Amino acid sequence: MDWLIASLVALLDEVSEKPSGAFSAFLDERALGFAGMLSEGRNATNAATDAAVESLRSDSELITALVDEIDALNREVAELSARNIILTETQWRLEAQHESDRMHIRELIAEMVRRDIR
């Protein structure tokens, strides 16, 4: 925007120095120059906008892929947690059964000792 203001100031300075007959041609030349500069600026802005949109689209696709991967990992964690619960319950049952078996073996040994004593 500063370049536009500076260009307009320079244009006014040049206009004040031109004779009136050349004034119209001078303005036409300058108008074409400004139109070209504005067109170049618009093209550069459009190109930058297109690049930014493409970058955002690429980032969006990457984020979507990461979210999908996180969802898959969360499902796997949930499945592993469920398996862990089952394994823990099985371990508790086996420990209880083991303790029960030990008590039963002690009772059998005590019974055998009593029989041997008689």
CA distances from 117 to 26, 43, 59, 104 (A): 133, 109, 85, 20
DSSP summary character for residue 18? S
What is residue 8's predicted lDDT score, i.e. its pLDDT? 72
Which residues form the domain of 31? 2-117
38: which 2 tokens? 């504005």
What's the rounded Cα separation, in Å, for the pair 70 and 11? Answer: 60
Contact 53, 26 (CB under 8 A): no
Average model confidence (pLDDT) across the chain: 85
Residues 78 and 14: their CA atoms lie apart, in Å, by: 77
Global pTM reads: 0.48
| Domain total in the chain | 1
pLDDT class for 78, splitting at 50, 70, 90?
very high
Residue-wise pLDDT for 20-30, tens only, equals 556 667 666 77
Residue 12: what residue type? L
pLDDT score of 60 more than 60: yes
The closest of 4, 84, 72, 15 to 38, measured between CA atoms, is 4
- Tens-place pLDDT, residues 34-45: 777 888 888 889
- What are the tens digits of pLDDT across the range 43-56? 889 999 999 999 99
pLDDT at 2: 72
